[in-house]
């Protein structure tokens, strides 16, 4: 088992305090690692030591997760505020430009950072996190992806926390990862997950990421109005990007890769035979892909 990384508590001008794992020489080029749901900086436990050989690595527990600040309002988790934390973190370390790496929800923030702040994001690495245009489009055009994303509707249900309180965090842990992750590798990390999820307000904070997101997830029998932007030209990514994709992902279907090259002109795609949590399910392959590309 990989032991815990030392964490530095950093107060940001965005109003939150984040626990941040830091590794490598501060004089080296910076890499910021953004984890997803329902994890923490430990998503990157196999990548941090490798990346630190050549880069200054910054891996926060994002707002709402683990022991980082957990603002109470759903509106505290809008995409702009999540990206604001990332930029403030880079400012804290005096890094004007950096490579941004994101998985899952961290990848959603990374996509947004790269699209909106190309002045700050020098390179982008995305791991099993859908491009915002393609993801929203497939909610309307790909029945398989819409079906696979119905869990988002469940996560937005305000009675979810009461349900978890009834069945217990341990039972919910088992339910959350069944069919989505390598159970053997997951077992090692179980104590960390349970500790983090039991922090006061943690579950609500994590679900507020879903509740604050503007993404429309229609019910299977629903036909809501189609957002106009889905059929209009969309800004192209301005920097080189490496996309690493675990092809056995049950939550994100292969449709997320269709047409991606047209939106990301300088894209390198590496597919891996692994599930959604590919950074720790297939760490050697992920590290090799990153090292070759960087």
Residues identified as active-site? 104, 210, 276
Q: What is the DSSP letter of 228?
A: G
> 255 with 281: CB under 8 angstroms?
no
Rounded to whole angstroms, how far apart are CA atoms 129 and 151?
16
Q: Is 98:78 a contact under the CB 8 Å cutoff?
A: no
Q: Is the dihedral of CA 284, 286, 287, 292 positive or negative?
A: positive
Distances, alpha carbon 174 to alpha carbons 193, 249, 288, in Å: 11, 18, 31
Measured distance CA(230)–CA(54) in Å, rounded? 39
């Amino acid at each position: 088992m990989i032991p815990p990384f030392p964490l530095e508590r950093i107060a940001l001008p965005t109003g939150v305090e984040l626990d941040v794992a830091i590794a490598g020489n501060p004089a080296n080029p910076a890499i910021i690692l953004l984890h997803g749901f329902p994890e923490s900086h430990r998503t990157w436990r196999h990548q941090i030591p490798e990346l630190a050989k050549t880069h200054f690595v910054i891996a926060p527990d994002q707002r709402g997760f683990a022991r980082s600040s957990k603002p109470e309002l759903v509106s505290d988790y809008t995409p702009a505020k999540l990206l604001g934390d990332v930029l403030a973190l880079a400012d804290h370390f005096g890094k004007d430009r950096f490579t941004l790496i994101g998985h899952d929800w961290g990848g959603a923030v990374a996509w947004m950072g790269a699209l909106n702040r190309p002045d700050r994001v020098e390179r982008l690495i995305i791991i099993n996190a859908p491009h915002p245009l393609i993801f929203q489009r497939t909610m309307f055009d790909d029945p398989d992806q819409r079906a696979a994303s119905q869990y988002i509707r469940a996560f937005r249900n305000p009675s979810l926390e009461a349900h978890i309180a009834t069945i217990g965090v341990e039972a919910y842990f088992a339910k959350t990862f069944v069919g989505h992750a390598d159970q053997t590798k997951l077992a090692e990390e179980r104590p960390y997950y349970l500790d983090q999820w039991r922090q006061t307000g943690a579950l609500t904070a994590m679900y507020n990421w879903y509740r604050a997101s503007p993404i429309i997830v229609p019910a299977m029998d629903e036909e809501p109005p189609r957002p106009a932007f889905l059929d209009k030209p969309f800004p192209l990514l301005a920097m080189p990007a490496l996309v690493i994709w675990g092809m056995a992902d049950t939550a994100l279907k292969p449709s997320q890769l269709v047409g991606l090259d047209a939106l990301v002109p300088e894209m390198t795609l590496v597919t891996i035979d692994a599930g959604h949590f590919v950074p720790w399910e297939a760490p050697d392959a992920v590290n090799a892909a990153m090292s070759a590309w960087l």
